[in-house]
Amino acid sequence: MSPAFIELAPLLNSGFIAATVRPMHSDIVDLRSFYSTTLGRLAEHSITMALSSIWATVPNERLVGLGYTLPWLERFGTDTERVFAFMPATQGAVVWPASGPTATALVFDEELPLVDSCIDRVLLVHSLEHAENPRETLNEIWRVLSPAGRVVIVVPNRRGVWARFEHTPFGNGRPFSRGQLTELLREANFTPAAWCDALFFPPSPRRFMMRFHNVLEKAGRRFWPIFSGVIVVEAQKRLYQGVPVVQRASRRVFVPVFSPQGATRLGRRAAEAAPRQVTRS
């Protein structure tokens, strides 16, 4: 019996693996805390190796990371003309980089603060699985990408073990299969160009299991590639298909934090019901 099965057997028997995954959002504090652990650093390294296999160097590239992409922007954003880290409002934001001008911004993933066709590549990690409307998010990315632009997406694999455990960020949100991701990209006028996978070792925080992560990673790529923890896809912006021009109204409703929701309506009703008093001077 393999060490991976021995480690996962008690969790299977205890009902740890659920049939569905709750669509929870990952907080920026939880994400930073996870990637500071040994398991998080191993996961970061595995995803970095997968990204390196499909990441082509582009001179004077303008790169945007959407979600929690800081570990990979520090690696792949060194030779770019400019790089930005966009963090969804539901996730929160941190200052990055530690030195120099801040390159982070708190954004809505369906309304990016960018003009049309100004970015060469967009990297999504811990983003699409938490999007309220993934298709609208991809449509917005299509808008800001240059004609030769590419989007690189990292999402939890629906068949993988990592999507079943909530003690890692990959256990939150909406996992995808390759077929679902392909259909979603084509609906948003993207053409998938390259695929790869990562996180073949089990998400166990025990040192005994983490010692074998290298062996399990190599074995998983060879013997069980469809059960990877995450799917990585690079897609190219498609221009030859007509795009319907529809004026889209923002679905965001901003409520002032100093005015409790409903208080204004109740106050108006009370004012209308109360008798008016006229003060004479």
Q: What is the DSSP string of 93-112?
A: ----SSSSS--EEEEBTTB-
Answer yes or no: are the C-beta atoms of 258 and 172 closer than 8 Å.
no
| DSSP-derived secondary structure letter, 166 | T
Q: What is the mean pLDDT of the chain?
A: 83
Q: Distance between CA atoms of 211 and 38, rounded to whole angstroms? A: 11
pLDDT at 273 over 90: no
Phi/psi at 219 (5° precision):
-65, -40
For every residue of 187-218, DSSP letters joined together read HTTEEEEEEEEE--S-----HHHHTTHHHHHH
Q: pLDDT category, 221, cuts 50, 70, 90?
A: confident
Phi-psi region of 237 (alpha: psi -120 to 50; beta: other; left: phi over 0): beta
pLDDT band (50, 70, 90) for residue 247:
low
Question: What is residue 2's predicted lDDT score, i.e. its pLDDT?
Answer: 44
pLDDT band at 24 (very low <50, low <70, confident <90, very high): low
> Nearest CA to 120 among 203, 40, 57?
57
> Which tokens sit at 115?
């003009």
CATH tag for 3-253 (out of 3.40.50.150, 3.40.50.300, 3.40.190.10, 3.40.1410.10): 3.40.50.150
Pairing mode, if any, of strands 104-107 and 82-88?
parallel
- What are the CA-CA distances from residue 71 to residues 15, 65, 125, 194, 238 (Å)? 33, 10, 10, 22, 29
pLDDT digits (tens, 9 = 90+) for 138-168: 999 999 999 999 999 999 999 999 999 999 9
| Residue 42 to residue 153: CA distance in whole angstroms | 19
As a whole number of angstroms, the distance between CA 145 and CA 120 comes to: 6
CA atoms within 13 A on the CB side of 126: 32
Contacts of 13 (CB under 8 A, 6+ apart): none
> Tokens at residue 225, please?
């590639």
Is the pLDDT at 265 greater than 70? The verdict is no
Contacts of 153 (CB under 8 A, 6+ apart): 124, 128, 181, 232, 233, 234, 235
| CA-based nearest residue to 58, from 143, 119, 103, 105 | 119
Q: What per-residue confidence (pLDDT) applies to 239?
A: 85
Helix (H) or strand (E) holding 86: strand 82-88
Would you call 123 helix, strand, or coil by DSSP?
A: strand
For residue 220, the cross-strand partners are: none
Q: Which residues of 163-198 are buried (b: 16+ CB within 10 A; e: fewer)?
A: bbbeebbbbbbbbbebeebbebbeebbbeeeebbbb
Classify strands 190-198 and 145-156 as parallel, antiparallel or unpaired: unpaired
pLDDT score at 78: 87
